Amino acid sequence: MTRPFAFAAIAAAVFAATPAHAVMMIYNVDPSAQCSQAARDITNLKSGLDYCDEALRDDVMPHRGELLINRGIVKFAMDDKKGALADFNAALIVNPQLGDGYINRAALLISLGRYPEARGDVERALQLGAVNIPVAYYNRGVIEDETGDYQAAYRDYKQALALKPDYAAAARELLRFKVRSTGAPPG
């Protein structure tokens, strides 16, 4: 029996056995897509984590580095910083070219007060040309802000906002700054 014919025969048998008033729903859930969605939207974190775990159990799953980054984002959002850091580290071992992975790990390192390491990750992300470059500049601005280099922080927040004009976090940080001219006073 050929494969298409076998499938048609099975489908016909299932539909014949299903009462006319019953509703049959067949669906397929892609765990890697659900993991990615949870990381992107920061919603349904518990089920998103389960989907990430399920996807990563598949030994032939492509894009393992990206999946580990997504799971790290979900864990970070769930305040599992140790687990998130382990996932970010593992992802960057699997694929050290994931520029956005460095941005995410930098954000986590900032939350832990590990500014020199975070700065190194931001610089690496910028070298690699990460997709979320505005976030890299914002993260670097936070590092500079936290370490007292306010002029550099201001420049990086401005750069983040220039690259992404609707970047609310960068706009909010810029509101805290007062810019003064350092030139000679008017005569």
List, in order of start, the domains of the chain with CATH numbers.
29-96 (1.25.40), 106-176 (1.25.40.10)
Which of 119, 69, 77, 76 lies closest to 95, judged by CA? 69
Q: Select the more confidently predicted residue: 115 or 182.
A: 115
pLDDT band at 83 (very low <50, low <70, confident <90, very high): very high
Distance separating alpha carbons of residues 68 and 48, to the nearest angstrom: 12
pLDDT of residue 68: 97
Which residues, including other chains, have CB under 8 Å from residue 140's CB and lie 6 or more apart?
119, 122, 152, 156
pLDDT of residue 180: 82
In the chain, % of residues over pLDDT 90: 75
In the chain, % of residues over pLDDT 70: 82
